[in-house]
Structure 1
Amino acid sequence: MSKFQIPAGIKNCCITLLLLPLAACAQHRTDISHTPTFKAMEEAKNNPAGSGTSDTATFAAGCFWCVETQFKQLEGVTKVVSGFTGGHVPNPSYEEVCTGTTGHAEACNIIYDPSKISYDELLAAFFVAHDPTQLNRQGNDVGTQYRSAIFYHNAEQKRLAEYYIKRLDEEKAYPSKIVTTVSPLTQFYRAEDYHQDYYSRNGNQPYCLFVIAPKLDKFKKVFKDKLKHQKTGG
């Protein structure tokens, strides 16, 4: 099923206003931005040698419309691509993934400049962008396709992901244990064109107004000093 367990063929403009506030309220309210581990992630040094190059992080954190919108705000992130990964069905469609039978998660490839933003900082954004203690869901979006997962591209990304998850759990940064899985990226499948830049093109749709917008506001407050407009004036 798609967003709010609405059949995949029915788009978000058909979601009832009764369900929408519930979804917004269902997002986690834990503020980890004052924990030592979060500060360590956020203050990790960039790699000056990476100037002019790019790297990729792949995260699954619930609805990829939300994830894409949040990460696009960060200075150093050059592109975000919504797609599917972690499953067994090649070239899946959105409708197939929504059935929960493909094994794939909605995920985003986050292309970034390592001289401007570190993988550690991206992990900090990942843990703020969603509730990593919810198993196979985010708010009213329910199913394995909405699971919390980090798909690493190399051994260093794996090490950092596991290290920070362990530290956050030891600090009891969240009321419950983190359920985020850490596994190697295999094949990433780009989602259909209408999913790309979804929020910027559909900002007045109910899901955007009642779910994405509140999450984005919170995200911007936490990372107010790392947003693109802070440096570009745009």
Structure 2
Amino acid sequence: MFSHLFATMNELLDELIKRNPNGVLQGQDEEQFAVLKAMSDKIMDEWLSFEEKIALFKDKMQDSDAEKTNNITMPLTAVLTDKPPVPAALQAELEQLLSKGQGYFKLYMFPEAADAFNEVMQRSPDCNLARLFLAMTYMHMQEWYEAQRHFQLIVALADHPKWQALGLNALGCIQAIRQNLDQAEIYFQKAYDADPSFEETLSNLHACKTRDGQLSLYFGSAKLSCL
């Protein structure tokens, strides 16, 4: 399941080494290396934690089939959609594609991430997590129409306050980019109402209200500038 992710990480690291044989990184190369290192550290931490849990669980295992059934984890796709769980084979493919897309997204390889998330959406249109990542990917690619289309669906369908706030904040940014600042302000206010802890919204709302010179807005790791 993770072989494609490690293959991509190794390929990117090899390219970084070729471009920077002296080990001095700058700009995007330095940022990409930091992402790779963070991913590596996270994987190691999660793996060690997983191994520890397995060891503890082995000590408590019983032969009862009922006991084993109680410890089965809910399928990922069952959490992502209100529809009945998909067949196991398709579920495994969807999880692999989601993992692949998220790996590309974290490495700022947005076209590749979009391909993976689009494939998930084609096979499972009700997978809101794939739609959310696809919408965020389009934002980073500055494909505003597609980003708006998916975020509108997220806002309409998602129940999670943070997803609502993220979607409304993104829609506000898109309106600001199109110079519709009054509409952008409305979206940012709605995003704040949905989840007051979503910090980007307050910053963007303040920027819209002041409108002093160049308008700088925030969406995730991206900073969007509007004249």
TM-score range, shorter chain: under 0.3
- Normalised to the residue count of structure 1, the TM-score between the two structures is 0.25
Report which structure shows greater RCO (CA 8 Å, sep ≥6). 1
Q: Which has the larger radius of gyration?
A: 2
> Which has more helix, going by share of residues?
2
- Normalised to the residue count of structure 2, the TM-score between the two structures is 0.25
